[in-house]
Amino acid sequence: MRVVAMVALTGCALWASGASAAEVAVRELGPNSYELTLTNQTPIDEKAAQAVIANAAASICKEREPVLGKYRFDSKEAIGGSATSGAPPSFVFVQGVTCGPAQKASATPRVPMLKSAQEAQRVREDIKSRSEAWFRMLAADRFDDAYAQILESTLGTDKAAWEGDQRSFQSLAGDPRSISVVAITVYDNPADAPAPGLYVAADFNNTYQNVPFQCGYLVWYRPEGGDFGITRMDIGHVTAEQLKAIPEAQLPELKRKLGCVTP
């Protein structure tokens, strides 16, 4: 009997395909607050999934302004190029949506918040330190401290569910071997961002006892006069057992799919 391992790739945009068979389920969380769950028989990329969610959100919110907030998604793909598992790849995308008043366009252009190259470098060093410390908090089961670093609008689940997911991963992963932020990108008050402020992406490559690759990025956001918090995260991983089923020639492509960035 041949065993086909499955790689759980959470938070990575891996496929560029249509969502014609997608279904969206709606769960009301409170007044003008919803959780939308998109399911598709084949994996699709993040942009396509959010386009489907955005259309559904517009229909739900009607005359109010849909605001896409917390989200997560999970996909499974057969390792080793085999299609003999008998089941197609699965894709589930969960997005939080709130319906608020229509937003007015800003009358003034956004201006950079950072005043010098030295200030930008301090921000890079700060975010590198914060990001690596955040993963160490998770590895040490300091979930309250780690959760406090996440902005309210980021995650598509409540704290109890988020903490359960983190405990499951840490139990699977084992002790950390290497926690490393390998690239920092600063977006200084970009015009197309959902809110004014400083956005900083931290790409990471982490290694654990039972997880040789955990890759992706965190995006930290700081409003003017405020402090940084995590506003977005894309995280993928493969376990040591799953890695055994992957031909060596496919490792570069796997790392690309996981979001592993070369320092």
Give tens-digit pLDDT for 201-240.
Answer: 999 999 999 999 999 999 999 999 999 999 988 899 999 9
Contacts 24+ apart (CB under 8 A), 121-126: 123/186, 123/198, 123/200, 124/184, 124/186, 124/200, 126/228
Residue 69 has pLDDT above 90, yes or no: no
Specify the higher pLDDT residue, 98 or 125: 125
> 158, 166, 161, 159: which is closest to 137 by C-alpha?
166
Kindly list the structural domains of the chain, giving each domain's residue range(s) and its CATH number in brackets, ordered by start. 6-100 (no CATH), 117-258 (3.10.450.50)
> 166, 143, 159, 144: which is closest to 235 by C-alpha?
166
| Paired strand residues for 217 | 203, 234
What is the band of 76 on the pLDDT scale with cuts at 50, 70, 90? low
Amino acid, res. 48: A
pLDDT attached to residue 115: 93
pLDDT attached to residue 153: 67
What is the band of 180 on the pLDDT scale with cuts at 50, 70, 90? very high
> What's the pLDDT tens digit per position in 17-63?
344 456 888 888 888 888 888 888 777 777 778 788 888 888 889 88
Question: What is this structure's pTM?
Answer: 0.64
Q: How far apart are CA 117 and CA 201, in angstroms?
A: 17
pLDDT attached to residue 239: 94
From first CA to last CA, the distance across the chain in angstroms is 40
pLDDT attached to residue 259: 83
Residue 139 has pLDDT above 70, yes or no: yes
Query: Rounded mean pLDDT of 159-164?
Result: 90
